[in-house]
Amino acid sequence: MVTRAVPAPPDPFDPLWQVLPAGTLLYRVHEPTLPDGSANDGTAFNPGVGMPMRWSFFGDPVVPVHYSAASPEAAVHESILHDAIPGAHVSQATWVRKVLTVLATTRDLRLAQLHSDGLRRLGLRARDLTDTDADHYAGTVEWAEAAHAAGADGVVWMSRQLNSVQAYCLFGDRVGEGALVDQPDHPDARVFATPADSEWLFAVAARMRVTLRPFT
């Protein structure tokens, strides 16, 4: 079967802009330590390590990125449950060291809107850009690069894994230090190695008929 190529972004790139006001809450699932062993409070940007993702990586030097979502559930679906299908059993190693961090923006962030009328404005449907498989990432990342060149702080789209909720990719050379602040006392912050928070995670997975292997 021939896969459908992702269209190239237009030049000039003139997106619909969406502003996240200062104080907007973002949700991110991650490990509590960075590869160098230092603490990770969820504000760290990925400098270009790991497999390609929908909007990364691009640039020389590489533009660091930060992925998050507009709800705790979407953050889980975009991380721990990203590749799960109904009936799957997800190993404990996939989730037990993860935490869910709540972050707040400290300034307005101007994002290229790649959903709803933002897609229509660019002559696209979700199936053309934001609802594509990983083998199309070489094409989708060109849209992130175009948004970056147009001055965006990042891009916003509807999560492919939980498509009623927005997801975000922020550009590290635009969203400077201090623009995201951890909210450790927020009630939605979770440490999945604890029984209460693992039960919440199991319930999220169960909604799509996925079983997370419990503590052994």
DSSP symbols for 77-111: HTTTTTT--TT-EE-HHHHTT-EEEEEEESS-EEE
Which pLDDT value is given to residue 1? Answer: 38
Please state the pTM of the whole predicted model.
0.94
Judge whether residue 38 has pLDDT over 50: yes
Judge whether residue 3 has pLDDT over 60: no
State the pLDDT confidence band at 197, using cuts at 50, 70 and 90: very high
Structural domain harbouring 156: 17-45+56-182
Mean pLDDT value across the chain: 95
Which pLDDT value is given to residue 216? Answer: 53
In a domain, 210, yes or no: no
123-137 confidence digits (pLDDT tens): 999 999 999 999 999
146-184 confidence digits (pLDDT tens): 999 999 999 999 999 999 999 999 999 999 889 999 999
Judge whether residue 60 has pLDDT over 60: yes
3-state secondary structure of 194: coil
How many CB atoms lie under 10 A from the CB of residue 65? 25
Which pLDDT value is given to residue 4? Answer: 58
Q: Which two tokens stand for residue 202?
A: 């199991």
In a domain, 190, yes or no: no
In a domain, 34, yes or no: yes
Count up the domains in the chain and report the number: 1
Which pLDDT value is given to residue 46? Answer: 95
In a domain, 9, yes or no: no
In a domain, 193, yes or no: no
In a domain, 96, yes or no: yes
In contact, 71 and 163? CB cutoff 8 Å: no
In a domain, 208, yes or no: no
**What mean pLDDT comes out for the span 79-84?**
96
**In angstroms, rounded to a whole number, what is the distance separating the alpha carbons of residues 83 and 87?**
12
In a domain, 75, yes or no: yes
Which pLDDT value is given to residue 6? Answer: 95
Which pLDDT value is given to residue 214? Answer: 75
